[in-house]
Amino acid sequence: MRVVLEDVSFAYPGSVEPLFLNFSYAFDAGTVTAVVGPSGTGKSTLLDLIGGLQLPDSGSVELHDAESSRIGPRCSWVLQNNMLLGGRTAVDNAALALIATGSPRGESRARALDALTRFGLSDRADYPPERLSGGEAQRVTIARCFLSAAPIILADEPTGQLDSLNSQLVFDALIESASDGKVVILATHDQALAQQAHAIVDLAG
């Protein structure tokens, strides 16, 4: 399985210069690819194009896979704004990735608690998002992502609010997901983590 971008061009309305011009790249399963570059070079937009949140002006974004060529429904996202449901506990938010695919609620909560424990959040399992720090909320989102069976992980600055210890914990989990055969693509400013990826796409040129 691979995600293939071929001759992709994209510009925001009103922009003088395109953000991407004839951009081509293939993201392979089993690989963590770090997308790096200064702010404004299109790291988040590239993830949006891959996940179908934006459409290219020209060129193609395709999933080469025997099961399906549709990318969007097969993506699990880690977004900068966390996207947690208010009024639900951390464990309930994490369990949504499993409940949405039909897993029994009790089993889903148990697995979600295991995931939260892995990311150092066992003592925050019953906290609603309003009581979590930014870094804690981000780790809940990451735990939910890793519980998803989606074969593609798109992570936008997944360690942006984390200290070095938790950043490494998250990156190690991304490596593990790639080892399980997933396509893992992360946008990051963290050069130390980027250097540990299997491949780097530098949008600065």
Using alpha carbons, select from 178, 150, 172, 177 the residue that is nearest to residue 159. 172
Phi-psi label, residue 67: left if phi above 0, alpha if psi -120 to 50, beta otherwise: alpha
H-helix or E-strand containing 36? strand 31-36
SS3 6: strand
- The closest alpha carbon to 63, from 76, 52, 48, 77, belongs to 52
Whole-prediction pTM value?
0.90
Give me the average pLDDT of each 10-residue run along the chain (205 residues): 96 92 97 96 96 95 72 82 88 92 92 95 96 93 91 93 91 94 96 96 90
Q: Tell me the domain boundaries of the chain.
A: 2-202
Give the CATH fold of the 2-202 domain.
Answer: Rossmann fold (3.40.50)
Whole-number pLDDT of residue 9: 98
